[in-house]
Amino acid sequence: MTYAITRQQHGATVRYSGLVSVGEFMEVVLSIHADPGYASLRYVIHDMLEVEELDFSNLDMTAMAAQELGARYTNPGVRPAVVSKDPRMAEATRSFSALAQLEVGIFTELAQAQRWVGATHPAAPQP
């Protein structure tokens, strides 16, 4: 998996490509949750348009939901969104959303997700 995190004024967009395993995905999520600015983020967009394969299991979904619920104590208002044209990714996102009891936007175009989360500000330079 290759990924790049772009920080915007009020959020972050993560662009993934290739094969994405649950371990690699969690590495990204944990790095965002551990960021000192996480408490003030309004959104995180997971751009999966270039992902070729997902390697997630139902057990892994439970671990991901538990991690997300813990992060909600730090920032209960962050809006997550997933962008993918793969119906399997949409189904995995719906499963995660139901398990975590969390609204997650599911979109097929990046611009749709950006509108939904209110990401209207230009990208900030990487530190």
Domain of 75, CATH number, reads 3.30.750.24
Closest CA to 100 of 72, 65, 67, 73: 65
Check whether 98 has a pLDDT greater than 80: yes
pTM score: 0.86
Count of structural domains, the chain? 1
| Within a domain: 124 | no
Q: How far is 69 from 24, CA to CA, in rounded Å? A: 19
Q: What is the pLDDT of residues 22-80, one digit of tens each?
A: 888 889 999 999 999 999 999 999 999 999 988 876 667 777 787 887 887 888 889 99
Q: Is residue 104 part of a domain?
A: yes
Q: Which domain holds residue 19?
A: 2-117
Across the chain, the runs of DSSP E, i.e. the strands, are: 2-7, 11-21, 43-55, 79-83, 105-107
